[in-house]
Amino acid sequence: MAIAAAITLPLTTVNRHSLSYSSFSSFRFSSSFCLQSDTHQLVSISAVRKPSSRILASMSIEAPEKFSPDSFLDRRESGILHFVKYHGLGNDFILVDNRDSAEPKITPEQAVKLCDRNFGIGADGVIFAMPGINGTDYTMRIFNSDGSEPEMCGNGVRCFARFIAELENLQGKQSFTVHTGAGLIVPEIQEDGKVRVDMGEPILKGSDVPTKLPANKDQSVVKSKLDVDGITWNVTCVSMGNPHCVTFGTEVSQGLQVDELNLAEIGPKFEHHVMFPARTNTEFVQVFSPTHLKMRVWERGAGATLACGTGACAVVVAAVLEDRAGRSCTVDLPGGPLDIEWREEDNHIYMTGPAEVVFYGSIPL
């Protein structure tokens, strides 16, 4: 898939960069630039040439006095995909306006290429804003960076909410209903710009998570033993519409130091463990206090990420079930903190955190 891109960064003085190159697979393009902290002006740029010296990549820069996201997102050129890149605590996504179709505008294979951090835009996934079904305002679908489609994504739904607000030009406190593979999700944009999301009720029945580990607390799997390469881990299994395996330590060492873990080595062993027929997300958790937890995550289909919203929700549920924490916690992730509350009144989990624009871009398909 040959790709050209026009990228606009949302800076104080917006700098617009358009770049084009012949083929993702035939060469590697790199550019370098620095932004002066006082003026936010782009001051240097470079492009790579092949040995033949023929320029395969080019970049042009212009700094318009005013950039309008509205006019950018309203563009409808044939064969061009306009997108906005967002991140929620570093968990980054390519957001696509797909409200005119119930089918995603790109394939899972194309999503893999776009998410590539060396030869693509770079992201943990592609999110599509689609028409609502079953009475909801919108539908959200996601392709992971490996092309798989998860049921839902907590950080992604916060980015989705901010994207919808921009598309619809919504101001102030707003909420709407979103259909996902995990069911109904209701995000609410707060006055401070953060997004509070009603994530619904956790699924605790082991067979529905799903896991093949036998239930040991009613129908749930709580602090159960899981052998991973000869090491026995204590795990609690929770679904937030997508499967999570939460661990606070091994049978020998109860207190994890999560920064010392080699996620790249151990994460895939949990994800593809035979006890998780749909694979699993895995959260490794350190407890600071009953209201303060720290986690690192290995996400199914994406690997180690800076944040996972559904994972943070699952962590608080697991912490409550194992009597390690209360129902309202701050969960520290590598990308920053999320506030999670598991309400006793309605059994729903509420997640609050930021979502921010990274840049606007266009690519030919």
The per-residue b/e assignment along 272-304, b for 16 or more CB within 10 angstroms, e otherwise, is ebebbeebbbbbbbbbeeeeebbbbbbbbbbbe
296: amino acid identity, one letter: R
Q: Residue 330: which of 315, 346, 344 has the closest Cα?
A: 315
State the catalytic residue, choosing from 153, 237, 245, 313: 153
State the catalytic residue, choosing from 115, 245, 308, 329: 308
Residues whose CB falls within 8 Å of the CB of residue 156, separated by 6 or more in sequence, listed in order: 88, 91, 93, 125, 127, 140, 142, 309
222: amino acid identity, one letter: V
Nearest-5° angle of CA 133, CA 343, CA 219? 80
User: Under a CB-based contact definition with an 8 Å cutoff, are residues 195 and 87 in contact?
Assistant: no
301: amino acid identity, one letter: G
- Our answer to whether residue 308 is catalytic in this structure is yes
Q: In the chain, helix, strand, coil percent, each to 5?
A: 15, 40, 45
Residues whose CB falls within 8 Å of the CB of residue 231, separated by 6 or more in sequence, listed in order: 250
Packing angle between helix 309-321 and helix 154-167, nearest 10 degrees? 140
Question: In this structure, what is the dihedral angle of CA atoms 185, 190, 194, 199, given to the nearest 10 degrees?
Answer: -20
Say how many C-beta atoms besides its own lie within 10 A of residue 232's C-beta: 12
Q: Which two tokens stand for residue 179?
A: 């259909």
Catalytic center residues: 153, 308
